[in-house]
Structure 1
């Protein structure tokens, strides 16, 4: 590639890849692409775009080149498509004077964009059943146009039933793609992670980044990613993050009960939060209001559960709970030579200092990322890849105070309540028990929005769950999975 260098101020100005006299809005202007990715136009007015941040692609329209760009907004307004967001379209159109100049510009722009390591082919899952059942509309109107502007090839798969995405990724050819995108809530993300971890080549498969576009009920993971850099949780912001191709790692928790395993990237809940999350499904016809309605009902008829939790505290949290000489933690059974897939962290916990908190409990909540849903900042101090889970424990609380705590979930201030214990743990054991007031009834264990275990006389207790309502263990593998993420 021919490189031109500016004559003036050579030491402070970056090298120029290409510069030309062109037409912009039917008047002459000088357009320059520099080695540091600045696309500048100097004519009747000065314009400037950054290839790394603003430009998503370009197309040739007759004699003209249209550079497709999105620019971050400082305030309100509408984003690409019809949703509120943080970006607005700001395409830049110019006309080189000669055909060979147009070809040089196309070559230079394509080569620069290719050098950024952005995805070129994506497998896209669209879940038509999640949330308000609007995933198809969101994909067609907001996601697909942006991905096509970025010249990304798409293989689109509409999920037909629960665990469909997991089945596909468990046997797909990962070498065909630069990433997987979930236009859904958090459920399809969890399926994808579990499918990748069950592969024989899971180490290589987990290098494939996963992107989320909010189209479900919770959207906790993408809310956590976008909020961490001050972006709103909308389809356009999520899609632009995928196009730019930045990545970050995220911890994966292994929940095990004997030889049965489930891989979690969001949370585990037992007690009040799990009951509200799962039992409110009977009021699904109310839409999102079902959560608030059922939360009020559950607080008025508050349940407490017997049981105990054990944990290895993160540094700085050793004062929580009571030291136990025998944690009852058991190493998982030896791995069979025939067993494929990831088997959990390769760590020894028997000799570490375990601590315990005994019930009864109102709620026990483990979180991997800050937001449990778009309006629920469950664990404000949670980090994506610190190797710890954030534990929120509520043992007893007056009902009026509890109502106030649920309202404070929207900004995370609930963790400052004297009724709440909030700490970080490296490993965790849950020994769930029966209800205090009705010992013949037990509870529900919920992980990433799905029922992990149903106790006696619980909601839909006749339905089979992955695990039994009994002791389970949770360990964390730091930064195991890869996500498409805004630059941070």
Structure 2
């Protein structure tokens, strides 16, 4: 497209579409040290509309960096002759139609998340942006735990391009579980088999943070800003993230995409759940009480080392048909221990390719989104080749608080304590000692005390004295670009 004269937001400019960039240069004879040239990438434009009120105009709404990693929508009016405006609008519209953006989304809203403002936030901040971008949304306002899992078990996935979770980490986890369980059923994969390689998803999930923690959201975007999260979904960029499957007693308990923590942190999460009426502040008060009554557990950790060679079938992806766009008339909403037997780096005891460690520990923890150190801070890594599993041995309370504070505040060195043992693994089992269990009449072992696992913010009561965690590499696409903005 050749350079054309136009009035852009009140200033005389030359406008030209170069490839997939809109180049705007201000016509001024006054020399300035500041650049008068502006470039807008088409992929950052949300909508384009030709209007002719007082004079022909092309109105653009595009995404721009605001402050502190936050994004906002800016409006641009380009006024010129009718032919220039219509040609510009048509060319930009054609480019937008070819972008791999979501056109239809299934949206789950948890009205009880955080400060119970999820519905209001959706109506005032999220829905207007979806409508501006011409995205059709089907809304499900949840009324009970597990509803996304049940709905996704039967939903026609060919009708959607993506799923959106509006709530906290728990709501996102339910969407992940519902989608992955459905895909395994469709692919005839036995999800209860800890040896099975799962079928990855090719349907991205987006997160709009309205919960208490929103840790995953902060990992992805570096901010918990609702508008930024919404715009990232609209732009359609996504990254592949790992998940793990948690197995207990020959059955799948849950898929987790953020963390799996047993022992002290599991107890903390369970204690926090009993005080949901306190809102988000419970995460600052209750953990200190749990920490004061911390207890050690005798465990045996069996794990496959990171470099272990395992024979597995290649990942299977199921292709779902997609609609590229929808008629404008359809755009809208449908409400609906130091005592470890071998220190880190030692060979360890081999059991059919597995190694083992044991001791009296406060917990056995692993993050699905691993952390790498960079300039004194921790940077998330969503598709790491292995899990870092660490075991916290007996230690002084002040040292333990320091270690947990580093972890909570994403500071480097949270594993560099002499009471912490870590291994890199793709699969591990935690077995409680025989002293912690009793035999029933059928010969099955049952726990004498209550133990909890924190899986993505959900406190899961352990029913048997053994559980297993397996890494599934790049199994879930998540909306949001990791490096760079937008």
Q: Confirm or deny that 1:444 pairs with 2:452.
A: yes
Structure 2, gaps ≥5 residues long = 29-34, 188-197, 309-341, 372-376, 437-446
Query: Aligned equivalents of 1:470 and 1:207: distance in 2?
Result: 35
Q: Which residue of 2 aligns with 1:37?
A: 21
Residue of 100, 114, 133 corresponding to 1:150: 133
Q: Confirm or deny that 1:209 pairs with 2:208.
A: no
Q: Which residue of 1 aligns with 2:48?
A: 58
Q: Confirm or deny that 1:357 pairs with 2:349.
A: no
SS of match in other structure, 1:130? coil
Q: Which residue of 2 aligns with 1:171?
A: 154
Q: Confirm or deny that 1:243 pairs with 2:234.
A: yes
CA contact (8 A) 2:370 2:387 kept: no
Query: Aligned equivalents of 1:453 and 1:266: distance in 2?
Result: 18
Query: Aligned equivalents of 1:49 and 1:388: distance in 2?
Result: 41
SS of match in other structure, 1:91? strand
Query: Aligned equivalents of 1:291 and 1:25: distance in 2?
Result: 47
CA contact (8 A) 1:121 1:178 kept: yes
Instruction: Pick closer, same or farther for the CA change 1:192–1:299 going to 2, 3 Å.
Output: closer
Instruction: Pick closer, same or farther for the CA change 1:175–1:310 going to 2, 3 Å.
Output: same
TM-score by length of 1: 0.77
Instruction: Pick closer, same or farther for the CA change 1:122–1:47 going to 2, 3 Å.
Output: farther
CA contact (8 A) 2:239 2:480 kept: yes
Instruction: Pick closer, same or farther for the CA change 1:314–1:26 going to 2, 3 Å.
Output: closer
CA contact (8 A) 2:7 2:78 kept: yes
CA contact (8 A) 2:344 2:422 kept: no
CA contact (8 A) 2:243 2:472 kept: yes
Q: Which residue of 1 aligns with 2:110?
A: 127
Query: Aligned equivalents of 1:102 and 1:36: distance in 2?
Result: 17
Q: Confirm or deny that 1:48 pairs with 2:38.
A: yes
Query: Aligned equivalents of 1:282 and 1:294: distance in 2?
Result: 10
- Residue 182 of structure 1 deviates from its aligned partner by 0.8
- Residue 116 of structure 1 deviates from its aligned partner by 2.4
- Residue 26 of structure 1 deviates from its aligned partner by 5.0
Structure 1, gaps ≥5 residues long = 1-16, 77-84, 327-350, 372-378, 455-467
Q: Which residue of 1 aligns with 2:5?
A: 21
Deviations 1:437-483 (A, max 9, x none): xx9534212212223324xxxxxxxxxxxxx2321222112111111
Instruction: Pick closer, same or farther for the CA change 1:175–1:41 going to 2, 3 Å.
Output: farther
Q: Which residue of 1 aligns with 2:387?
A: 389
CA contact (8 A) 1:322 1:357 kept: no
Deviations 1:170-229 (A, max 9, x none): 2212221111111111222222222222224358881111111111122222222113xx
Q: Which residue of 2 aligns with 1:187?
A: 170
Q: Which residue of 2 aligns with 1:366?
A: 366
- Residue 61 of structure 1 deviates from its aligned partner by 4.1
Query: Aligned equivalents of 2:343 and 2:48: distance in 1?
Result: 55
Query: Aligned equivalents of 1:260 and 1:34: distance in 2?
Result: 56
Q: Confirm or deny that 1:286 pairs with 2:294.
A: no
SS of match in other structure, 1:175? helix
Instruction: Pick closer, same or farther for the CA change 1:421–1:380 going to 2, 3 Å.
Output: farther
Query: Aligned equivalents of 1:322 and 1:361: distance in 2?
Result: 21
Q: Confirm or deny that 1:233 pairs with 2:227.
A: no
Q: How many pairs were matched up?
A: 411
Residue of 301, 314, 318 corresponding to 2:306: 314
Query: Aligned equivalents of 1:370 and 1:198: distance in 2?
Result: 24
- Residue 89 of structure 1 deviates from its aligned partner by 3.5
How much is the aligned-residue C-alpha RMSD, in angstroms?
A: 2.8
Q: Which residue of 1 aligns with 2:63?
A: 70
Where is the strand percentage greater, Structure 1 or Structure 2?
Answer: 2
Q: Which residue of 2 aligns with 1:457?
A: none
